[in-house]
């Protein structure tokens, strides 16, 4: 049996699961994660270098505010979701390759040389695709992990700066709310 024919047959069989998952991870999950990470980074970077008093004024004035803490938090949560999904799928690739190997080798009930060669080739292609996509995605994971970590540190620093400012300059409420009615 021709090696090309065996590989093609395997691509239409069990190896298709690995390739579909790789395409989903690389063409949907990773670009979405990259976009979220870049957007969050653009929102957080200006908050690090400006004085805290200007930052607080910016947050408190809804008309001129360029920083929405709620939006930052939601972006951070989405970034974490897509990052964990990307890592989870990446971790599955070697396992799928090994599973394909085991499935192929378990079907060796007759030890004729042709059957052994076909099943062994099928086993190797599953392992090959699982490892290839794991290596590609792990490489991307290393790069995007630094961006996610950077955003997490900047968000934590932003919250720390706001908390520190509020502990140094506690606000006194001008209006108190009691059971749905405001009183001065």
- Domain assignments of the chain as residue spans, ordered by start: 3-183
pTM above 0.85, yes or no: no
Buried b (16+ CB within 10 A) or exposed e, 66-79: eeeeeebeebbebb
Neighbours of 4 (CB within 10 A): 8
Give pLDDT, residue 184.
43
Q: Using pLDDT thresholds of 50, 70 and 90, give the confidence band for residue 87.
A: very high
Q: Could you tell me the pLDDT band of residue 168, with boundaries at 50, 70 and 90? A: confident
Q: What percent of the chain has pLDDT over 70?
A: 85
Place of tokens 């059957």: 115
Q: Where residue 176 falls among pLDDT bands split at 50, 70, 90?
A: very low
* 85: confidence class by pLDDT, cuts 50, 70, 90: very high
Asked whether residue 177 carries a pLDDT value surpassing 60, the answer given is no
List, for residues 100-140, the tens digit of each pLDDT value: 888 777 776 666 677 777 777 777 888 888 999 999 999 99
Q: Which residue has the tokens 């190896």?
A: 15
Element holding 72 (H helix, E strand):
helix 69-106
- CA 144 from chain centre, in angstroms, equals 8
């Amino acid at each position: 049996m021709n090696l090309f024919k065996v590989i093609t047959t395997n691509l239409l069989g069990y190896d298709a699961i690995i390739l579909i998952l790789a395409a989903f991870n690389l063409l949907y999950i990773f670009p979405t994660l990259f976009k979220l990470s870049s957007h969050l980074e653009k929102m957080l970077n200006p908050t690090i270098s400006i004085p805290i008093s200007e930052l607080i004024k910016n947050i408190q004035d809804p008309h001129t505010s360029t920083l929405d803490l709620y939006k930052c938090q939601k972006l951070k949560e989405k970034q974490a979701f897509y990052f964990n999904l990307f890592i989870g799928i990446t971790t599955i690739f070697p396992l799928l390759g090994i599973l394909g190997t085991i499935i192929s080798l378990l079907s060796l009930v007759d030890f004729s040389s042709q059957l052994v060669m076909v099943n062994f080739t099928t086993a190797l292609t599953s392992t090959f695709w699982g490892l290839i996509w794991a290596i590609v995605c792990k490489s991307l994971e290393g790069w995007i992990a630094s961006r996610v970590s950077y955003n997490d540190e900047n968000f934590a620093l932003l919250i720390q700066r706001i908390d520190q400012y509020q502990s140094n300059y506690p606000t006194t409420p001008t209006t108190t709310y009691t059971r749905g009615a405001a009183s001065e």
